[in-house]
Amino acid sequence: MFAVAAAAVLVALALTITRAIKGPTVFDRLLAGNTVGTLAIMLLGVVGFLTGRPEFLDIGLTYGLLNLIGTLSVLKFFRHGDLAHDSEAEPGT
């Protein structure tokens, strides 16, 4: 039954990657990238249970933190054009 869950997550990954390739704006691609990260964590857990080694969940926890930081930093880069942005230099934002 974990094979069914793994197949479902793989189908969802394929659909999400379709959106990441097609998506007209950069925000669609970012949203798809974030969902790919979520689905990769679920795939790690499910395949870990499928092969009888659930220790892969540690990697999933690390990847969850990286996913948050990655998406937020790309968003900040697209908003300000700079990662080390000085908020006082640009009034009104």
Q: Does 1 participate in binding other proteins (rule CB under 8 A)? A: yes
The helices-and-strands tally (H runs, E runs) of the chain is: 3, 0
Dihedral of the CA atoms 11, 42, 47, 40 (nearest 10)?
70
Contacts with other proteins in 16-75 (CB under 8 A)? 16, 18-19, 24-28, 30-32, 34-35, 38-39, 41-42, 45-46, 49, 54, 57-58, 60-61, 64-65, 67-68, 71-72, 75
Give the span between the Cα atoms of 9 and 19, in whole angstroms: 15
Contacts with other proteins in 73-92 (CB under 8 A)? 75, 78-79
Percent of the chain that is helix, strand, coil (3-state, to 5): 80, 0, 20
Binding site for other proteins (CB under 8 A): 1-2, 4-5, 7-9, 11-13, 15-16, 18-19, 24-28, 30-32, 34-35, 38-39, 41-42, 45-46, 49, 54, 57-58, 60-61, 64-65, 67-68, 71-72, 75, 78-79
